[in-house]
């Protein structure tokens, strides 16, 4: 039997750990789900009101984190949620590419391989394709760094697939789960029709330096099942080979990445010292600078890939605050983000900073834009519903941040980077 003195001693130790930051509070306990966020949003935009009055129809979920700094520039976080529901499925689209970048960088670090080392992908199954060159790279060779760059600048699908193959399906999921990101599953390549079973197989990969192989990884097979037992079907119908099938579309085997997990991942990137050790990634200081640069850089600010200067506008993949606008954007405001859109779902996950006014906050959101409830028909309401919502959502929070009192102006120099190549 534990004595009352021991209980008091244990309670005191727990309280001491809590106050010193040694005992992490579960993320869910830090989210305020009151009316603050809804009132703030409706106050700033009539368009937001029309969507927020029908949250179930649009499957809206929002997380907003307010950041206050003390005199030592240490951040304090207050997070507000709107309509957050981890049991409600949404397709995460390209937001799954961000953990792919992090895990690939972490993996080359563990292997003691520079991320710029040429990575050659082989093929040992009929459905697989190999990669020996990359004409978009300065040296015309593929690498983890260049794939990551293409993902963060322009959300390149093939680049994600190559990192997925390098990481392997099992390691991709198991690594995230071990870090505490439980409500996530990444089970397939993007823009690929090879099916569930073939996505379990990943290509052989090797790294070469000065013509010599320094690391070789055989093809892998994941025998684990990451989907749940619940069948997930949505909508009224879908197109298959151009023919309408009048039955719900099956998402059971599709990727998933819960909104609060995305928000938590963002915090681990920009404030790694503020999250429990197990949620962090094994990244170098240079890796973080790499992430900060390419998560916030406009495609026109890079030389490689060269075609980005012609084909991609400033607002490309910048949904929150900017709404994907094609006009030139201010350079003192930066979205460090990963956005996505597919199957009518529009998402963005961003740390937003105004370096002139000293504003910073984190904002993550998803909205469903598919009025006719038909999938694969390319008739989604991104332009009329989704992008205006993301723009007005970002503006509402930005305007609030602009007007609220801060006892200390944040020093954001850690996130200021050079935008070249």
Mean pLDDT across the chain: 92
pLDDT of 25 strictly over 60: no
What are the two backbone dihedrals, phi and then psi, of residue 184, each rounded to the nearest 5 degrees?
Answer: -150, 145
Buried (b) or exposed (e) across 351-383, using 16+ Cβ within 10 A? bbbbbeeebbbbbbbbbbbbeeebbbeeebbbe
Instruction: Compute the distance between CA of residue 144 and CA of residue 164 in angstroms, rounded to an integer.
Output: 11
pLDDT category of residue 307 using cuts at 50, 70 and 90: confident
Q: pLDDT at position 43, please?
A: 87
283: Cβ–Cβ under 8 A, 6 or more apart, which residues? 102, 105, 106, 109, 272, 291
Instruction: Compute the distance between CA of residue 159 and CA of residue 274 in angstroms, rounded to an integer.
Output: 30
Look up the pTM and report it: 0.92
Three-class HEC string of 234-270: ECCEEEECCEEECCCEECCCCCEECHHHHHHHHHHHH
Q: pLDDT at position 45, please?
A: 79
pLDDT, tens digit, for every residue of 257-285? 999 999 999 999 999 999 999 999 999 99
Where helices occur in 120-156 by DSSP H, the ranges are 144-154
Number of Cβ within a 10 Å radius of residue 251: 19
**Mapping DSSP to helix (H, G, I), strand (E, B) and coil, where does residue 353 land?**
strand
Question: Stretch 73-95: mean pLDDT, rounded?
Answer: 96
What is the helix (H) or strand (E) element at residue 67, kind and residue range? Answer: strand 61-69
Q: Count how many residues are written for the chain.
A: 421
Instruction: Compute the distance between CA of residue 289 and CA of residue 191 in angstroms, rounded to an integer.
Output: 30
Q: What percent of the chain has pLDDT over 90?
A: 87
- Peptide bond before residue 305 is cis, with ω within 30 degrees of 0: yes
Instruction: Compute the distance between CA of residue 205 and CA of residue 162 in angstroms, rounded to an integer.
Output: 9
pLDDT category of residue 24 using cuts at 50, 70 and 90: very low
What are the two backbone dihedrals, phi and then psi, of residue 9, each rounded to the nearest 5 degrees?
Answer: -65, -45
Q: pLDDT at position 4, please?
A: 45
Q: pLDDT at position 3, please?
A: 46
């Amino acid at each position: 039997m534990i004595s009352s003195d021991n209980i008091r001693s244990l309670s005191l130790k727990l309280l001491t750990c809590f106050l010193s930051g040694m005992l992490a509070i579960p993320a869910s306990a830090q989210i305020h789900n009151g009316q603050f966020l809804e009132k703030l949003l409706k106050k700033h935009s009539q368009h937001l009101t029309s969507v927020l009055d029908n949250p179930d129809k649009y499957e809206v979920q929002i997380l907003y984190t307010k950041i206050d700094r003390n005199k030592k520039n240490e951040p304090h976080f207050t997070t507000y949620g709107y309509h957050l529901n981890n049991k409600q499925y949404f397709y995460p689209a390209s937001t799954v590419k961000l953990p792919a970048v992090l895990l690939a960088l972490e993996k080359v670090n563990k292997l003691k391989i520079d991320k710029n080392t040429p990575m050659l992908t082989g093929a040992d199954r009929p459905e697989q394709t190999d990669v020996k060159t990359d004409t978009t790279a300065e040296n015309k060779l593929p690498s983890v760094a260049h794939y990551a760059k293409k993902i963060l600048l322009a959300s390149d699908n093939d680049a994600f697939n190559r990192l997925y193959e390098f990481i392997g399906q099992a390691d991709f999921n198991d690594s995230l789960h071990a870090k505490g990101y439980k409500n996530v599953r990444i089970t397939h390549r993007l823009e690929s029709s090879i099916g569930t079973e073939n996505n379990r197989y990943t290509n052989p990969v090797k790294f070469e330096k000065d013509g010599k192989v320094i690391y070789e990884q055989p093809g892998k097979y994941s025998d684990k099942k990451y989907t749940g037992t619940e069948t997930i079907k949505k909508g009224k119908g879908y197109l298959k080979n151009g023919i309408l099938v009048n039955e719900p579309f099956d998402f059971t085997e599709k990727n998933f990445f819960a909104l609060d997990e995305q928000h938590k991942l963002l915090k681990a990137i920009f404030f790694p010292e503020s999250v429990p050790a197990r949620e962090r990634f094994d990244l170098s200081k240079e890796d973080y600078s790499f992430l900060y640069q390419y998560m916030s850089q406009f495609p026109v600010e890079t030389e490689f890939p060269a075609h980005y200067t012609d084909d991609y506008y400033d607002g490309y993949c910048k949904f929150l605050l900017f709404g994907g606008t094609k006009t030139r954007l201010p350079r003192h405001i930066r979205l460090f983000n990963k956005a996505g859109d597919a199957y009518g779902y529009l998402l963005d996950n961003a740390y937003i900073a105004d370096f002139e006014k000293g504003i910073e906050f984190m904002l993550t959101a998803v909205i469903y834009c598919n009025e006719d409830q038909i999938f694969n028909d390319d008739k989604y309401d991104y332009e009329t519903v989704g992008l205006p919502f993301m723009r007005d959502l970002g503006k509402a929070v930005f305007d609030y941040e602009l007007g609220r009192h801060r006892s200390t102006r944040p020093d954001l120099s850690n996130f200021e980077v050079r935008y070249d190549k």
